[in-house]
Amino acid sequence: MNAAAELGALHPAPAPRDLRQRRMAYLVAGSAALEVHKDGDPKQRRQSLGLAGRMVAASRRAAEAEAAAAAAAGGGTGGGTLADAFTALQEFGIAARRGDAEGLRAALAAAAGLACVGAEHLLRMAAVVEDPEFSHPDVLMAALTAALAKLMARGDPDWPRVALVVRQMAGAATSHAERVKVFEEGAQILGSAPPNEGVGDEGGATKGYPEREARWLAGSCWNAGLARLRRGDRRGAAPLLRLGLDMLRHLPRWGAPDRAAMEELAAEVGAAAAGAGG
């Protein structure tokens, strides 16, 4: 025992780079275990899930050692590393396969808080809980919302991708209140986006929210309001009709002939809803 202790003392402590490589090796092993989980029998699935969990735990321990080594050397990891992003993704995948809603939320929150995690990582998380086998609608909406926040935080957002995420959010909404919230977000984004200039001279898309997606968003919002109105739900219809009109104001070339009638209907429904609410 003494000899082992002396040999251990002589062995140099792993450098941060070595620990980072060790973390990635653990994560690769964990990823392979999750791949086995997809097609294995019940026993193999349990074993692969257990192995993936152990690999993530080992990666976490290596991360702690890496942070300590970096601190001792006077450095740090700032907004996290790629290994941190992959760790959160694997923890999310493990939680999904275990049906652990709290684990999903914790892994998502950890990932969203890392500067090194981009919208693409959060959209991968969204894809996991969009799968019927691992369906968690509230976590799906949270992942899409976090991805949208990452996209909009950029100085020059990727507008086609922003539009895609907004469309996904509209489809993922499971309640009237959630749907209204998504359309409110969409209206704000349309208001903040630069004018869409169509297609550039070389065929590439130019800046601005894609007009086709803006039309879809405005039309979907307005039609959702009409559907509520047909069911006699004026209070539910009013915000959707108002938001649909707000979006149309950013589409001057679309819907112009009917706009006056639409504004009249929205005002009438809004007044009726306000009167009923009072």
DSSP annotation string for the chain:
-HHHHHHHHHSPPPPHHHHHHHHHHHHHHHHHHHHHHHH--HHHHHHHHHHHHHHHHHHHHHHHHHHHHHHHTT---TT--HHHHHHHHHHHHHHHHHT-HHHHHHHHHHHHT-TT--HHHHHHHHHHHHSGGG--HHHHHHHHHHHHHHHHTSSS--HHHHHHHHHHHHHH--SHHHHHHHHHHHHHHHHHSPPP--B-TTS-B-SS--HHHHHHHHHHHHHHHHHHHHTT-HHHHHHHHHHHHHHHTT-TTSSGGGHHHHHHHHHHHHHHHHHHH-
pLDDT tier, 84 (very low <50, low <70, confident <90, very high otherwise): confident
CA–CA separation, 210 and 159 (whole Å): 7
Average pLDDT over every residue of 161-183: 97
Please give the model's pTM, rounded to 2 decimal places: 0.83
Q: What average pLDDT is seen over the chain?
A: 85
Q: What proportion of the chain, given as a percentage, has pLDDT over 70?
A: 86
pLDDT in tens, 251-266: 877 766 677 888 888 8
Q: What is the pLDDT of residue 255?
A: 64
pLDDT for residue 79 is more than 70: no
Whole-angstrom distance, CA of residue 234 vs CA of residue 272: 7
More confident residue, 37 or 277: 37
% pLDDT > 90, the chain: 49
> 72: burial class by Cβ within 10 Å (0-12, 13-18, 19+)?
exposed
39-43, 82-86, 184-188, 211-215, range with the lowest pLDDT: 39-43
Which of 234-249 are b and which e, b meaning 16 or more Cβ less than 10 Å from the residue's Cβ?
bbbbbbbbbbbbbbbe
Candidates 149, 60, 139; CA nearest to 104 is 139
